[in-house]
Structure formats: C-alpha cells, structure tokens
Homo-oligomer: A and B are copies of this chain.
Amino acid sequence: MGGERDVNHEPHSCDAALARAFGFLGKRWNGVILATLLIGPLGFAELKRSVGGICDSVLSERLHGLTEAGLVQRHVAEGPPVTVEYALTAAGQALLPVLEGLSAWATANLPA
C-alpha cells in the first residue's frame, strides 16, 4: 500500500475476455456440464445423471449452446441402435487446467 499506482488505469484488454468467460461459464450448468464431460464422452441420459438436478429441456438447450460455441461435439453412431454422444472439442478440453485451478482455489477459499 502507499506505493506507486496509476489511479487512471483502464481495465486491461484481458478483461473483455474474462467477462466473456464469466458470462459463459457462469451461465447456470455450463461449467458443470463441461467439467463432467472432461471425464469422457457421455450420452444424454448419462450426462443428465452425472450433472444431477438438470431437466431435459435445459440440458438440451445448454448442449446446443456449448456446441454452437465450439466447445462440445455431438457424435452420432449409426446403429442400430443409433447412439448419440457428447464430447469435448479441443477447445473444451483446453479448459481442463483452468477448471482444475479454479476448483483448487474454490476449495481453499470459498467455504462450502
């Protein structure tokens, strides 16, 4: 404290990226869905069970948004039976170290 500081500093340019990240990951369920898929690809019903407490329509909507954003891919295996799985893209997988850091921080610093 009391050191030199620029009181007129503007938000760094990284703040726009951070605001995007928080807007996106902070949207209810998105973060947990991505964290769940980090473990491996899952079908809709498995994903729903693993996430817990989410209804079909909301999970569908979030998967659509995550797919649009290029973080999740939908794989259809022609059957029979036809099976659909959701998997992280490389962009989604790149979140892993960030989520690990965030989880460690929350464990240490945000009371349960």
**A residues in contact (CB < 8 Å) with B:** 1, 3, 5, 7, 9-12, 14-28, 30-32, 35-36, 39-43, 46, 50-52, 69-71, 75, 85, 87, 91, 94-95, 97-112
In whole angstroms, how far apart are the Cα atoms of A55 and B25 in the complex? 23
A-B contact pairs, 24 of them (CB 8 A): A1-B87, A5-B40, A5-B41, A10-B50, A11-B51, A12-B39, A17-B103, A17-B107, A17-B110, A17-B112, A18-B99, A18-B102, A18-B103, A20-B106, A20-B112, A21-B102, A21-B103, A22-B32, A23-B26, A25-B102, A26-B26, A71-B109, A94-B109, A98-B102
Q: How many copies does the complex hold?
A: 2
